[in-house]
C-alpha cells in the first residue's frame, strides 16, 4: 500500500455536498480562523478506517500527505500518527513526536488539533520535559496555543492537573474564542476529577475569565452554583 493508493481512496469517497457544508462549519471565509482551507467531504469514520488501513505508511510518505491543501488528507495523515504511536518502541515514539512537532502547521483547525494532539504530543510528554507547551501557550499562533491546551488532556486523564492549570492562567486573557472554549473544556475535565481543586483555582480569577471560558468550565456545576459563578457572587 502506498501513499498514492490512500490518496486515490480518499478521492473516491469525496462528497461535494458535505465538502460545501464544511466550508461554513470550519470557518474558511476571508478573515476567519480556517481561511482558505479546502474540503473533500469525507466523514471522520471514513478517515479513521482509511488511517487504520494505511497505518504502515512511512513518515516521509505521510509528510507528503499532511502538506496537502485538502483538510481530509491532513487529517488522515495525522490520524495515522495516532495509530502508529501506541505500537511504536521508545525510539520510534520520539520520531513520531518529532515529526508531529516539525509538521504542526498541518494541524491548522480545531478538529485536527483536538483529535490527534492528545494521542501523540500529550502521550509523549507524559514522560518528557513539557516546556514546549509553555512556549506554544505564549505563541501568537492560534493553533500552537490550542495544541498547548489539548496536550494537557492526556495528563488530566491520568490525574495530573498542574500543567493544565498553569497553561490556563497563561491563556486567561487570550482574545480568541477557540482558546476560551479549549481552556474552559479542559478545566471542566479537571473538575470532573477534582472539583475542590478546580474551585480553588477558579475563585480568585473567575471574574476575569472571558464568559465563554467560564461557561465551558462550570457547565457541569449544579445550577445554583453555576448561576452564582455567572453572577459573580461566589
Is a pLDDT exceeding 90 seen at residue 207? yes
The domain ranges of the chain are 1-106, 129-234
Q: Which pLDDT score, from 0 to 100, does residue 233 have?
A: 85
Q: What is the pLDDT of residue 120?
A: 98
Question: Per mean pLDDT, which range of 29-33, 69-73, 138-142, 178-182 is the poorest?
Answer: 29-33
Question: How confident is the prediction for the chain on average, in pLDDT?
Answer: 97
pLDDT (average), residues 124-134? 98
Whether residue 103 has pLDDT greater than 90: yes
Maximum alpha-carbon separation in the chain = 61
**Domain 1-106, what fold?**
1.25.10
Strand partners, 70: 38
- pLDDT above 90 for 105: yes
- Asked whether the predicted pLDDT for residue 80 surpasses 90, the reply is yes
pLDDT per residue as tens digits for the range 131-160: 999 999 999 999 999 999 999 999 999 999
Q: 154 Cβ partners below 8 Å, 6+ apart?
A: 118, 119, 122, 123, 125, 126
Torsion of CA 32, 168, 131, 122, to 10 degrees: -70
Q: Which CATH number fits domain 129-234: 3.60.21.70, 3.90.420.10, 1.25.10.90, 1.10.230.10?
A: 1.25.10.90
Q: Kindly state the average pLDDT of the residues 8-23.
A: 96
Dihedral sign from CA coordinates of 141, 155, 116, 90: positive
Q: Is the pLDDT of residue 234 over 90?
A: no
Residue 1 pLDDT > 90? no
pLDDT tens-digit map of 40-59: 999 999 999 999 999 999 99
For residue 117, pLDDT beyond 90? yes
Q: What is the mean pLDDT of residues 91-95?
A: 98
pLDDT value of residue 25:
92
Do 1-106 and 129-234 fold alike per CATH? yes
| Predicted pLDDT at 216 | 98
- Residue 70's pLDDT band (boundaries 50, 70, 90)? very high
* 38: β partners: 70
Amino acid at each position: 500500500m502506498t501513499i498514492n493508493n490512500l490518496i486515490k481512496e480518499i478521492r473516491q469517497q469525496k462528497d461535494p455536498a458535505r465538502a460545501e457544508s464544511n466550508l461554513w462549519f470550519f470557518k474558511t471565509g476571508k478573515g476567519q480562523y480556517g481561511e482558505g482551507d479546502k474540503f473533500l467531504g469525507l466523514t471522520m469514520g471514513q478517515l479513521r478506517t482509511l488511517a487504520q488501513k494505511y497505518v504502515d505508511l512511512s513518515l516521509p510518505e505521510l509528510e507528503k500527505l499532511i502538506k496537502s491543501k485538502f483538510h481530509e488528507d491532513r487529517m488522515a495523515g495525522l490520524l495515522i500518527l495516532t495509530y502508529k504511536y501506541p505500537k511504536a518502541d521508545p525510539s520510534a515514539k520520539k520520531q513520531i513526536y518529532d515529526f508531529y512537532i516539525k509538521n504542526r502547521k498541518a494541524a491548522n483547525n480545531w478538529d485536527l488539533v483536538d483529535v490527534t494532539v492528545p494521542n501523540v504530543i500529550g502521550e509523549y510528554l507524559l514522560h518528557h520535559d513539557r516546556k514546549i507547551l509553555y512556549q506554544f501557550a505564549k505563541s501568537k499562533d492560534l493553533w500552537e496555543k490550542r495544541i498547548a491546551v489539548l496536550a494537557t488532556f492526556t495528563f488530566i486523564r491520568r490525574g495530573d492537573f498542574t500543567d493544565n492549570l498553569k497553561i490556563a492562567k497563561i491563556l486567561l486573557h487570550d482574545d480568541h474564542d477557540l482558546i476560551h472554549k479549549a481552556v474552559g473544556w479542559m478545566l471542566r475535565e479537571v473538575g470532573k476529577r477534582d472539583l475542590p481543586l478546580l474551585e480553588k483555582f477558579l475563585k480568585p480569577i473567575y471574574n476575569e475569565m472571558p464568559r465563554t471560558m467560564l461557561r465551558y468550565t462550570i457547565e457541569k456545576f449544579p445550577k445554583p452554583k453555576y448561576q452564582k459563578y455567572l453572577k459573580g457572587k461566589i
